[in-house]
Chain A
Amino acid sequence: MMRETSIIFGYELKRMVRNPVWVIIGLLQPVLWLLLFVPLLEELNTGAPKSADLKTFVPGVLTMLAIMSTLLVGYVFLGSMRDGVVERLAVTPVSRLALALGRILADVAGLVAQSLLVVSVAYLMGFRTDPSSVLLILALMVLLGLSVASLSYALALNLREEASFSSIINFLTLPLLLLSGMLVPLSFAPGWMQAAGNANPLHHAVEAVRALAVDDRGATDVVTGFLVLAGLTALTLTWAARSYRRAVP
């Protein structure tokens, strides 16, 4: 089981790195967010020092990155289904759990690499956080990546075709992003929007990362963030696993 999972994991990582689109877009895009957005923050002149701006903004970029890079994994998976790859692997004596786990762990590993890159670039721009906070941030990213990737796979397995998959993803993304307070903290928003934001698990992820960015590791936001994401991961992972078992008994 371990052997099989690590074979799939290694294969999927190689596949990711071999894909120039992933390397360019996946690695460049988050850096561009920082490079092209942070100067705007300075111009906005919020009155706060630059490092404070970064501590609000970097967590937003990280969360957005988690969504952008894992929400579409289902799309790639649909291509594999179309090519018969999913079936072909299912006719090997490999456990279903290993097939699924190897793949999803590779997605998460990709996200962790992207996150580390963002944190490093942010560091060069003046973002300073305690290493233990960074580790906790990465732990949150792992949970976020697991849940969003599971959601994406579950949707792909249930919809079975790219057109409806893309429509649903597009439909989901905008409100999820806007109601998470990623770019502009929801504390600026009217009451009804804040209420809606509280129902959005992503909002709690952003708030937890923000608390960690200012090294407030004991904050309620951090605890809430971990609990919400752990719950979300359990739910989406179960849904994805069930959908997968139905597709390949």
Chain B
Amino acid sequence: MEIEAEGIRKTYLSKAGPVEALAGVDLVVPSGKIFGFLGPNGAGKTTLTRILTTLSRPDAGRARIAGFDVATQAQEVRRRIGYVSQAGGVDSGMSGRANLVLQARLQGMSKSDTVARVGELSDRFGLGELLDRAVKTLSGGQNRRLALAMGLVHRPSVMFLDEPTLGLDPRARVDLWQEISALRADGSTVFLTTHYLEEADALCDELAIIDNGTIVSQGSPAALKREVGSDDVISVTVGAGHARADGARTEIEALAGANRVWWEGDVLRVSIADGGEALPHLLRLLDAAGIEVRSVTLSAPGLDDVFLQKTGRSFSAEGASEQKPKGPDKADEKTDAGQLQGA
């Protein structure tokens, strides 16, 4: 197990009183997977990431990364993890190259290893001439790629990415998704937080959904969606004159997992447990009944359905504010400070 957490609790004192950011979180992340931590803003994602990356100590509970305790063996943990925070952590007063070199040297690499590694990462992330430009002049996507390269400089076995695509345009986001997927191909474990449902769905092998400091659900995206029981919906647009031709209806209703079959104008809709599997059978049935098929769409239940069911609230309403204000969370860190004074 690459990441293990047990009973993690953390309470902050804000001006409005104590805020329980994490109320007993248990987590197990196997190696070589992309693990997503999904939740609306303020759900406790960053707090947990900071604890797992040794930046903050939990009030209670233990966590181990690659077998090392984050509180008592922080140095060992730091050698094995890469971390890209929400802010990115790229020093805008320097070139990308200087940023990468510093990171490599601080991870204990020799000068010659550093040069070789910077070259490798530059090729892999297509940084090239961007490396010698002032970081200020890079686009959001370029900056993120550089941040990712910096996190990877010492070949960490676990990579922590806190809201890696926050504020990026859709194109840059998809590019970054590819880079993150490539990490898994290298055999790294990736722990990422996100409040984008489609990001969690597209990237993660396994997901934990967190709300108000508690994990409300955990599993693969597909399993989570299945768990809430929302069916896939297959919509078939048929040729003119074929609407309401119910020749195959009995057979369609008999398909495994089919719950409801109905017509909306020229569109036949089938609500069914596993639409992907049923689709070829359905098409064969329609064909056999002589019904002309013009087009087919398959829509799967979304993670928002999962969130709605588990928390009783709609995710989009919760995560409406897309962009958190930049910079350290004041209440968060101040209290951290207070609590650590005695530690």
Contact = CB atoms under 8 A, between A and B. Distances in A.
Interface of A: 4, 7-8, 11, 14-15, 18-19, 76, 79-85, 87-94, 160-161, 242-243, 245-249
Of residues A4, A245, A249, which shows the largest number of chain B Cβ atoms within 10 Å of its Cβ?
A: A249
A249 B102 contact: no
Contacts of B105: 7
A90 to B, nearest CB: 6
A91 B55 contact: yes
A19 B85 CA distance: 25
Of residues B91, B103, B326, which shows the largest number of chain A Cβ atoms within 10 Å of its Cβ?
A: B91
5 contacts: A81-B327, A84-B90, A93-B75, A161-B327, A242-B341
Contacts of B318: none
Contact of B107 (A85, A90, A92): A92
A83 B88 contact: yes
B330 A83 contact: no
B327 to A, nearest CB: 4
A245 B340 contact: yes
Contacts of B338: 246
A66 B268 CA distance: 79
A19 B92 CA distance: 11
Contact of B150 (A87, A88, A90, A243): A88
Interface of B: 53-57, 74-75, 78-79, 81, 83, 85-94, 98, 102-103, 105-108, 150, 326-328, 330, 333-334, 336-338, 340-341, 343
B164 to A, nearest CB: 12
B340 A249 contact: yes
Q: Closest 8 CB pairs between A and B?
A: A84-B87, A88-B89, A246-B337, A84-B89, A84-B85, A82-B327, A92-B106, A93-B78
A76 B327 CA distance: 14
Contact of A88 (B85, B94, B341): B85
Given A160-B334, A245-B340, A246-B337, A85 B91 contact: yes
A230 B86 CA distance: 40
